[in-house]
Structure formats: C-alpha cells, structure tokens
C-alpha cells in the first residue's frame, strides 16, 4: 500500500504511517518533502486496514456533521467571524490576527488542555520545522508564526501524547484528517486529543524552495540565524536575520506567489480539503483589500483572522473564548461569498478539484476518497473551458 502511495505521488508527508508501524517497516526520509521509506518487513492485514482508513493519501472523510450552516464551498459551520487577538503582542507575532494562538493560550490557562501539539521552528536549523509540545503562554507565542515548509507532526505521535492527559492538536487539514481518522483505532488518541484546530492550507512547498530563496539573497544556510516566512506585519515579509544581525527581507507576494507556492507537493494539487473540514475550529487570513481584479493586494495592515467553528465542540470553545474577551470580534460573516474574495486560492482548489481528481484517476488509476460534500457542489461553478483545462493540466 505504501509503495503504491509513493508511486502515485499522493503522500501528504504527515508521518502517521511511521507512528502506526515499527521503524523496521517504515522510516521517514526528508528529500525536500517528508516521505516514508519502506523497510524489510511486510505490513499485516490489520496494519493495512488501519492505513487504508487513516492515511490522507487515501482517504479524508469525517463523520456526519450537525452544523446548522452548510455553504456549498466553505462547508459546515456553526459560526464564521472575523476576529483578532486582544493582545497586541500575540497579534503582532502571529501571521494574521493571532486567533489560533489566543485560542491555544485560553485552552492552557483555563486547564481545558494540559499541552498543545503544534509545529514550530527548530532551535538548531532555522529552516526546519519540528513538533513542539507547549504548556505555557510564552511557548505558544514563540511558535506562533507560519512555516511554509514541510512538517510531519504525526511522527511518533503515539509516544508524544504519553506525557499528559488532555491535548489540543494544531495541524494542516490533512494532518487533522489523518489523526482524527486514526483515533477510531487508537484509544489514547481518541481520549486525549480534545481539540483539533487547523488553518487554511494552500499547499506544502518543498524545503528546497526555502533553501533556494536564501541562496538567491546571496546567503548560505550557515549564515542564517533566524528565518521567518511572515514577519513584521500582515501579511508581513519573508525575513532573515544573519549571524551579524543584518536583516534581509522579501515581500510576501514575491515569496509565496512566485517562489514557494509554485513548488508545492503534488498531493496538494489534488486536494479537496485545504480548509479544515474535519477540524473543530479552522482559521485563515481575512484579507480585506482587493485590486481591480478583486484579488487581495496583501497590503500590510494589522492582522485579522477568519475563524470558523465546524463542530459543536469547536463552537462551544469559540464562544467561550469570545466571552472571555481573548478574541476581539470585528464582525460576523453572513454572506459567505465574501470568503470567495478573501481566499481565491481555496476557491480554485474547490471548484477545480473534480477535473484534477479525474485526471489523477485516468493517469495513475487512483483517487483520494473524500466526502462528496467537500467538492461536488463547488465543481458546478466551473466553466466547461476551465473544467477541460484543469483536467488537461492534470493529465
């Protein structure tokens, strides 16, 4: 099964397979993206079953949701708001409005969780991501910035949840799907992960893309002391501080649109869930300034977060965070076509997923199993020309 996933290039790089299986069966290699390396032992029938129902290279399906709102493109919702952290330190350190950081700090300080599992920067290699287990406000803030490079938060996840009883997990939508699906087979995961929190994900760029940006700035990786993908504003800048404390910057639009975005992994190009359908709460940039084409200008401003609660669990948490004034409510989103403009990349992923997935089926004879509600109605918004074009690009 893993061999087929690698052959079809549909691996998301989450690391779950390494946790489920022994290191004699699978290890994780890093060649720009995290990928499983098959060992000498064969998988058992039970292990194959667990992977077939958990791995996001194969399946991304959630249980039926009771949310009162369902938008054809943005999915099930209890609430949809624009907000920002009331704490200016959090708001300035985070990539957008600091909503996720504020929610996580509330969870820790209210004792709803003992620890938070999330991604942060390596202390020894500033371009590398690693899993953090945070238990304090400062640790949340230290790891609050976006990281546009590969992460595999589910490596050793079974071991990583042994230290405490209650966790919040923050990850990409595919990480959320993998862990939530795996919770059906593992009682520790089911009982200990109390909250699943995600963010809109446009795709995972190769680590080599970051290295190439550093090189293009006339620097070596050994020169880099600190590396930030979004710093000093919203959306901020790609920012490097070298060992002489010199600052090097590139704009967000240049780095993401031209250098990082075009080098995302293949799995992300055939993804119907960049918006965290299986999360309790999902957050995103709530862009509000647009050019003549209606595209976000990415003009620097105080950060604002789009916050969507997708489950009753998430709705209860969001309303409690708002009631405690940890988040400033700017306004409720009532017309969801506003999000179409805020998130044009996600709009495209949804509308054109069907032709891309059909191309994957034709070319490689495989498909990723999604709930039809994730994409089918959105596909109706595609023109015939764009449908054919996206199918042709995929083939």
- What pLDDT is stored for residue 395 in this prediction? 66
DSSP 53-91: TT-TTTEE--PPP--SEEETTTEEESEEEEEEES-HHHH
Can you tell me the distance from the alpha carbon of 114 to that of 168, in angstroms, rounded to the nearest whole number? 8
The predicted structure's pLDDT at residue 374: 94
Q: Output the pLDDT for position 41.
A: 84
Residue 59 burial (CB count, 10 A): 18
Taking only the tens of pLDDT, the chain with its 395 residues reads: 898 999 999 999 999 999 999 778 999 998 899 999 988 788 899 999 999 999 999 999 988 888 999 999 999 999 999 999 999 999 998 989 999 999 999 999 999 999 999 999 998 999 999 999 999 999 999 999 899 999 999 999 999 999 999 999 999 999 999 999 999 999 999 999 999 999 999 999 999 999 999 999 999 999 999 999 999 999 999 999 999 999 999 999 999 999 999 999 999 999 999 999 999 999 999 999 999 999 999 999 999 999 999 999 999 999 999 999 999 999 999 999 999 999 999 999 999 999 999 999 999 999 999 999 999 999 999 999 999 999 987 76
Into which CATH architecture does domain 69-205+263-346 fall? 3-Layer(aba) Sandwich (3.40)
**pLDDT, tens digit (0-9, with 9 covering 90-100), for 94-111:** 989 999 999 999 999 999
pLDDT digits (tens, 9 = 90+) for 251-296: 999 999 999 999 999 999 999 999 999 999 999 999 999 999 999 9
DSSP 8-state assignment for residue 235? S
Give the SS3 label for residue 370.
Answer: strand
> Which pLDDT score, from 0 to 100, does residue 78 have?
98
Q: Beta strand pairing status for 59-60 and 369-370?
A: parallel
Predicted local distance difference test score (pLDDT) of residue 19: 94
What is the reported pLDDT for 145? 87
* Alpha carbon distance 228, 350 (integer Å): 29
Spans of all domains in the chain: 69-205+263-346, 207-262
């Amino acid at each position: 099964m893993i061999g087929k996933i690698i052959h079809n290039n549909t691996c998301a790089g989450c690391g779950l397979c390494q946790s489920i299986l022994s290191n004699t069966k699978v290890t994780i290699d890093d060649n720009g993206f995290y990928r499983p390396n098959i060992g000498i032992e064969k998988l058992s029938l039970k292990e194959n079953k667990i992977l077939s129902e958990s791995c996001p290279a194969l399946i991304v399906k959630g249980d039926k949701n009771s949310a009162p709102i369902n938008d054809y493109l943005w999915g099930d919702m209890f609430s949809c708001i624009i907000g920002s952290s009331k704490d200016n330190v959090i708001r300035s350190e985070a990539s957008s409005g600091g909503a996720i950081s504020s929610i996580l700090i509330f969870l820790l300080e209210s004792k709803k969780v003992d620890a938070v599992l999330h991604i942060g920067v390596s202390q020894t290699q500033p371009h590398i991501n690693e899993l953090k287990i945070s238990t304090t406000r400062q640790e949340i803030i230290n790891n609050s910035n976006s990281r546009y490079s590969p992460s595999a938060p589910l490596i050793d996840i079974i071991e990583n949840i042994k230290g405490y009883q209650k966790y919040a997990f923050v990850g990409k939508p595919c990480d959320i799907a993998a862990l939530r699906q795996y919770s059906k087979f593992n009682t520790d995961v089911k009982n200990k992960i109390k909250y699943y929190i995600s963010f809109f994900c446009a795709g995972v760029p190769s680590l080599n893309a970051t290295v190439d940006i550093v090189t293009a700035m006339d620097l070596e990786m050994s020169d880099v002391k600190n590396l930030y993908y979004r710093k000093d504003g919203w959306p901020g800048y790609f920012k490097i501080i070298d060992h002489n404390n010199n600052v090097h910057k590139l704009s967000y639009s240049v780095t993401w649109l031209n250098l990082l975005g075009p080098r995302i992994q293949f799995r992300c190009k055939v993804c119907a869930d960049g918006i965290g359908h299986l999360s309790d709460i999902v957050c995103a940039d709530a862009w509000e300034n647009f050019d003549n084409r209606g595209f976000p200008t990415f003009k620097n401003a105080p950060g604002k977060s789009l916050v969507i609660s997708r489950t009753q669990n998430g709705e209860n948490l969001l309303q409690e965070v708002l009631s405690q004034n940890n988040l400033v409510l700017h306004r409720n989103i009532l017309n969801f076509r506003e999000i179409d403009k805020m998130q044009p990349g996600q709009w495209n992923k949804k509308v054109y997923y069907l032709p891309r997935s059909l191309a994957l089926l034709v070319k490689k004879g495989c498909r990723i199993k999604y709930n039809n509600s994730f994409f089918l109605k959105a596909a109706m918004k595609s023109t015939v020309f764009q449908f054919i074009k996206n199918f042709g690009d995929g083939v």
